[in-house]
Amino acid sequence: DTGVSQNPRHKITKRGQNVTFRCDPISEHNRLYWYRQTLGQGPEFLTYFQNEAQLEKSRLLSDRFSAERPKGSFSTLEIQRTEQGDSAMYLCASSPGGGISNQPQHFGDGTRLSIL
Amino acid sequence: AQSVTQLGSHVSVSEGALVLLRCNYSSSVPPYLFWYVQYPNQGLQLLLKYTTGATLVKGINGFEAEFKKSETSFHLTKPSAHMSDAAEYFCAVSDRSGGSNYKLTFGKGTLLTVNP
């Protein structure tokens, strides 16, 4: 079990630029989640994949955000035309799928995004 | 909709003292319940979970929590605090029916400080 891996760990960019984050889940975990955590708050759900299918998106995920999980393996989260309010820690988590319904999610160390 | 309330955004204890972190949830059906710990600039690590069965669950690092349905609570305790326990703690719930894709709803977190 190599854990959930996220890259980069830190990203600093100017307002208006596009950024992309990558998440490599634990191998054979079918479920993959993205969360956003702002300072002093708990993580908030953004989107969910089961294998390669994106099955749920939060209202927090504006049309500037897009996420993919090609071939049901790694996932990417892209933010276009970044805004100051996008500054946050972006967390990825994965868990087994299938008939296993109560397995906990395993989190990566996150990507901290800072918008100048 | 589910919600989680963590009473006390900051708890300070002395080394060796009892740790009590409070969590109450709001849900039409008792959900799955989790406690996660987050160290600075890291992701979330699972401490323990309650899914079914015994209402007193034991986790890692000497922590335990008790599910009380009548009080809609899942408070986290540790008999004797250690300096290494200083971190932020998050209570989280997920819908056990699977209708919400098992996404987690988090409380705002409690920062635990341990004084020597």
Q: Check CB contact under 8 Å for B43 and A110.
A: yes
User: Mind giving me the DSSP string for B54-79?
Assistant: -SEEE-GGG-EEEEEGGGTEEEEEES
* Identity of residue B114: V
Question: Looking at chain B from residue 8 to 67, which residues have their Cβ under 8 Å from any Cβ of chain A?
Answer: 9, 32, 34, 36, 41-46, 49, 51-52
Contacts A–B by Cβ distance under 8 A:
65
Q: What is the pLDDT of residue A88?
A: 96
Query: pLDDT tens digits for chain B (116 residues)?
Result: 789 999 999 999 999 999 999 999 998 788 899 999 999 888 899 999 998 888 999 999 999 999 999 999 999 999 999 999 999 999 999 887 766 678 899 999 999 999 99
Q: Check CB contact under 8 Å for B46 and A35.
A: no
Q: Which are the contacts of A104, defined by CB distance < 8 A and separation ≥ 6?
A: A95, B34, B46, B49
pLDDT in tens, A43-88: 999 999 999 999 999 988 899 999 999 988 999 999 999 999 999 9
- Least CB–CB distance from A107: residue in B43, B49, B108: B43
Tally of CB atoms within 10 A around B28 = 8
Q: Check CB contact under 8 Å for B44 and A56.
A: no
Q: What is the pLDDT of residue B95?
A: 84
Degrees, nearest 5: CA angle B16-B21-B27 = 160
Q: What is the pLDDT of residue A99?
A: 56
